[in-house]
A and B are shown apart, each in its own frame.
Chain A
Amino acid sequence: DGGITQSPKYLFRKEGQNVTLSCEQNLNHDAMYWYRQDPGQGLRLIYYSQIVNDFQKGDIAEGYSVSREKKESFPLTVTSAQKNPTAFYLCASSTQAGSDTQYFGPGTRLTVL
C-alpha cells in the first residue's frame, strides 16, 4: 500500500528533552511538509522540503529542526528550545512543492509532561 506513515502515534516528553518524530512516504513524492495543529486552530507550517538535502523554514520553525537525507524520509526534531511543544503534528507530501495536492499522514500527538 502506498502512503505516508508517522510514528509514534503518541509521544510523551519531559521538559528539556529533544524528541524526533518520524515521517516516511512511499509515494515517490518530491516534497514533504511538517505542520502543527493546536485545538481550535488551523494547521501551521513548520518546515518543508522540496528535494533531498534541501529544506526551508515555514511560519513557525523556531524550536524545531529537520533533515532530508532520503527522498522517503523527513524526520522532525522538537528541541528543548520549543517553549510550547504539546500539539498534534502532521506530516504531508506532494509530487512537487506547493503546486500540487498534499497528502497527509495519520499524525503524532506529542505531550510534554
Chain B
Amino acid sequence: GEDVEQSLFLSVREGDSSVINCTYTDSSSTYLYWYKQEPGAGLQLLTYIFSNMDMKQDQRLTVLLNKKDKHLSLRIADTQTGDSAIYFCAETIYGGATNKLIFGTGTLLAVQP
C-alpha cells in the first residue's frame, strides 16, 4: 500500500548536523520532496530530488536517495534554532486520473541551544 514512514522526533544541539530519514513505497516515484512546517503555519517546500539522482545539495541541505532500499534522507548542516520545525517527506504516486503526493507523518526536529 501507500505508506511513507518517518521517525517522529529528533533532538540535536545547535551547530551539529541533523539527519532526518524517510522510507517510501512506490519505486516508480519520479520526484521525492522535503517540506518544512513551522508551528501554526503551512508547509514550505525545502527541496526535492529527481529519482535518477543519488544526491542533491542546496546550501546547508543535502538530500540522499537510495532507490534500492527506497530510503530518502535530509541532512541539515550546522543546525540552527530556526531549523526547529516538523519536516515531511513526500513521494509522488502515479495512477488513475492524476498523480498525487503521499506524505509521511512528519519528524519533529528540536534544536537545543
Contacts and interface: CB of A to CB of B under 8 A. Distances in A.
A102 B103 CA distance: 12
Contacts of A105: 42
B55 interface: no
B33 A98 contact: no
B96 to A, nearest CB: 9
Contacts of A45: 100-101
A39 to B, nearest CB: 10
Interface in A72-113: 90, 92, 97-99, 101-107, 109
Contacts, number: 58
A42 B103 contact: yes
Interface residues on B, range: 20 to 34
A30 to B, nearest CB: 11
Interface of B: 4, 8, 30-31, 33, 35, 40-45, 48, 88, 92, 94, 97-106
Interface of A: 4, 6, 40-43, 45, 48, 50, 56, 58, 90, 92, 97-99, 101-107, 109
